[in-house]
Every structure is written in C-alpha cells, then in structure tokens.
C-alpha cells in the first residue's frame, strides 16, 4: 500500500466550478487560505477560463492575489488552451493543470477539438510551462466512462498518456463516477511504464469513489484528488454527486495507517464552514457521522 501519497485539494476549482452558486473571488480566496491551514500541501485554486462562460471561475486573478499561503503549500490552476496559459503566465502560480477528454465526442463537446488536437496542444503547453519553470499535471478526463460513448477501454487513456511529452504527472479522471476497482488496476498497471507519478480524480456518483481510492492505494498511486465536503459534480451526469470528499478520504487513510500530514479535524472545520456558506447539505459523510473513536 502506498504511504507516500499526496492529496490535491480541488474544491476551490472543480468543486465550486460545478456548483450552482457563484461564490465571490474574495470568498474563494478565503477558502484556499482555510484549506492551506489544514496541512494540505497542494491546492487547485481555480481555472483561467472565460468568466462569461464559467462565471463560477470569474476573476481568478483576484483569488491568486488574495490567497496568500505559507511555504510548503503549492497552488495550481487549470488552463484549457493557450489563451488561458497566457493569463496564468502573469500570475505567481507554480503548477499548471491541463485537462482534456479521452473520448472524441466528449472532447468535441467540452473543448471543441479532436482528441489528437488536444494532445498536440497539451504538449505545446507542457513545453511552454516547463520553459517558464512551472510544473505540469495533465488530467485525462472520462478515463473510466463517457456520458456519450459509454464504456472506455483502459487502453485508450493509457495510450494517450504515452503520447504526452514529459508531463510531471498524469491523472486519470472518473469524470462521471462510473469506475470500478478493476478499472483502477488496469489503468495504473498500463501506465506504470511511464516512470512518472500517477494519480486519480474520482467522483462518487455511484458510491464507488472510495473503493477506487483504496484500490489505487494498493497499487502505489502517488496522487489522489479530493474536494472538501464533496463539493462539485459533473454537469454531464444527471444527479451526480461531487468529487470524493477530502475529509472522508482522509478518514479512510488515517484508519489504514497512511500519514498524510493533514489535520483531519481542521478539514472538518473547513467542510462545516463551506456547508454554511452554501446553505445546504453537501455530500461529505464524516461531518455528519463524526470521527471514530
């Protein structure tokens, strides 16, 4: 079982981006600061996308400016194209997150280009970011299943991973929450020859997210994305719940003897705060059930 594991907190981006509420950039920056105070060492603070199309991510530069965090915390942001990277280039964000879909239909609908074009664009952006001294993480969305094409053979995202030129890590995403532990094994085994850290981005739509996380641990995964209080969801999966909840994942890891260096009680406080902020129940379970013992 992997004991050298990094948790990437994606609530301020993938969580809030899919919420119906539009949270101000000042409050999003406060969320980042609160999360940084828990011991989480990697936080995705937002995305450099068109605020008219994704109003939840508008004014991301304000979030960057106000999200002052201490040493040892790495902030990252998502970009989807060269225009987004040019905006990020002007910001003190040391880690770039790139993403595209593993299936043609989803990628055309989500990013308006073929998968092949997205691979080429990603490779160009990796080169630009590395030249600027930034680290790059690439997420392959819909690696487990597609809302339009159905089942995705694990060989498809693995082959795409091999076409990427020198990313610092690759994340396989169960974007619509359909995956199983068997698929986790196939993906991680298929990509282990890449020789770089591998991770998973899991949604708990069909209540398999934590089983998949546990399976990944047994295969030595390096990175698991999670979202405080289970924020988020996928707009392409009707009724979808959000990402696996950071606090629920941390409870599982703690009970399995994996030391992440994160203060679970502090994360629970942030989960309670964001639940009050959004004025409704969120999918995370530990905040309702409580710790044990």
The catalytic residue positions are 234
Residue 3 has phi, psi (to 5 degrees) of -110, -10
Q: Counting Cβ atoms within 10 Å, is residue 250 exposed (0-12), middle (13-18) or buried (19+)?
A: buried
Distance of alpha carbon 279 from alpha carbon 289, whole angstroms:
19
Residue 107: strand, helix, or coil: helix
Q: Taking the CA atoms of 51, 70, 39 and 211 in sequence, report the sign of the dihedral they define.
A: positive
Residue by residue, DSSP assigns 196-228 as S-EEEEEB-TTS-HHHHHHHHHHTT--EEEEBG
Distance of alpha carbon 175 from alpha carbon 234, whole angstroms:
7
Q: Which two tokens stand for residue 93?
A: 């964000």
Number of residues that make up the chain? 293
For residue 74, what are the β-bridge partners? 42
């Amino acid at each position: 079982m992997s004991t050298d594991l990094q948790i990437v907190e994606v609530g301020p981006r993938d969580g809030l981006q899919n919420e119906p509420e539009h949270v101000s950039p000042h409050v999003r920056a406060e969320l980042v600061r609160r999360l940084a105070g828990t011991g989480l060492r990697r936080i995705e603070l937002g995305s450099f996308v068109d605020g008219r199309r994704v109003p939840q991510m508008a004014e991301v530069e304000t979030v960057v400016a106000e999200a002052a965090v201490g040493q040892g915390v790495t902030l990252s942001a998502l970009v989807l194209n060269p225009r987004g990277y040019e905006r990020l280039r002007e910001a003190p964000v040391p880690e770039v997150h790139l993403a595209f879909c593993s299936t043609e239909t989803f990628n055309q609908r989500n990013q308006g280009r073929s998968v092949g074009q997205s691979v080429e664009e990603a490779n160009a952006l990796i080169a630009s970011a590395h030249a600027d001294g930034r680290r790059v993480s690439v997420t392959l969305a819909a690696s487990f299943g597609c809302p339009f094409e159905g089942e995705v053979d694990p060989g498809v995202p693995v082959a795409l991973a091999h076409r990427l030129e020198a990313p610092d890590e690759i994340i396989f995403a169960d974007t619509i929450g359909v995956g199983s532990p068997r698929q986790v094994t196939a993906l991680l085994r298929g990509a282990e020859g890449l020789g770089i850290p591998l991770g998973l981005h899991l949604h708990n739509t069909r209540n398999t997210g934590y089983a998949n996380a546990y399976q990944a641990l047994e295969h030595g995964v390096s990175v698991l994305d999670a979202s405080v209080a289970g924020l988020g969801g996928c707009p392409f999966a009707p009724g979808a719940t959000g990402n696996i909840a950071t606090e629920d994942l941390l409870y599982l890891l703690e009970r399995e003897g994996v030391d992440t260096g994160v203060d679970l009680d502090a994360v629970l406080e942030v989960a309670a705060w964001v639940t009050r902020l959004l004025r409704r129940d969120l999918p995370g379970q530990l905040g309702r059930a409580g710790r044990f013992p």
